[in-house]
Amino acid sequence: MIKNSLYLFFILSTLNFAQLLQPKLVLQQTNYDFGDIVQGETVSHIFVLSNSGGDLLSISNVTASCGCTAAAPEKKELAPGESTNLKVSFNSSGRRGKQNKTIRIYSNDPQNPEMLLTIAGNVILSGDDTGKSPIIYFPETQHDFGQVKEGEKVNYTFKFANKGSSNLIVKDIIILVS
C-alpha cells in the first residue's frame, strides 16, 4: 500500500514538474477600451506578454481581425521569466461608431497555443462635423445571380440612400465578383 502511494506521488510530482518546464504565455491584460476616438486618428495600446514557464516561449504569429488593426511584439522569443511589449494600433479612418477588434497570439505554449486580446472604442466625428456628415445606407449589400451561362449578360441595380445631413459624393464604384 505504501509502495503504491509513493509510486502515485512520484508520478503526479513528475507530471507537475514537467508542466513547470514548459513555456507558459501570460497576458497581464486581455482587453482595452480606447473610449471615444476622433475619426481619422490612429490610437495605440501596449499589452505586456510574459513567459511564466520553465522553457523558451516562441511567438509564432500575431494576427488582427481587421486591416485597420496592427499588432507586433517587440520580441518573438522569451526566456523563462522574460516579458515583452505587444503594440496594438487601430486606425479609425473610414470607421464610425462602436468598434470591437480582436488580436490572436499564437505560441508554443502547450496549454494555450492561441490567446485572444480585444480592443474597443467608439469612433466619433470631430466636434465641428458632429451630425453634419453623409451616411451611406444600403438596404442590401449582395445579390445572387444564380447560374449564369457563359456569354449571358445579367444586370442588377443596388439601391442606396444618404441617411446623413450633408451631400454624399460617390467617388468610385468597385465591383467584386467571386
**What share of the chain in percent tops pLDDT 90?**
58
Contact 82, 111 (CB under 8 A): no
pLDDT tens for each residue of 114-129: 999 999 999 998 764 5
Q: Provide the pLDDT confidence category of residue 4 given band limits of 50, 70 and 90.
A: low
pLDDT, position 135:
76
| Residue 131 pLDDT > 70 | no
Average pLDDT, the chain: 86
| Residue 15 pLDDT > 50 | no
Domain extents for the chain? Answer: 23-124
Lowest mean pLDDT, pick from 116-120, 137-141, 157-161, 169-173: 137-141
| Residue 14 pLDDT > 50 | no
Selecting from 2.60.40.10, 3.40.50.720, 1.20.1440.230, 1.10.10.10, what CATH number does the domain 23-124 have?
2.60.40.10
- Give the integer Cα–Cα distance in Å for 100 and 20: 35
What is the 3-state secondary structure of the chain?
Answer: CHHHHHHHHHHHHHHHHHHHCCCCEEECCCEEEEEEEECCCEEEEEEEEEECCCCCEEEEEEEECCCCEEEEECCCEECCCCEEEEEEEEECCCCCEEEEEEEEEEECCCCCCEEEEEEEEEEECCCCCCCCCCCEECCCCCCCCCCCCCCCCCCCCCCCEECCCCCCCCCCCCCCCC
pLDDT, position 166:
78
- Give the integer Cα–Cα distance in Å for 129 and 154: 41
Looking at per-residue confidence, does 158 or 124 come out higher? 124
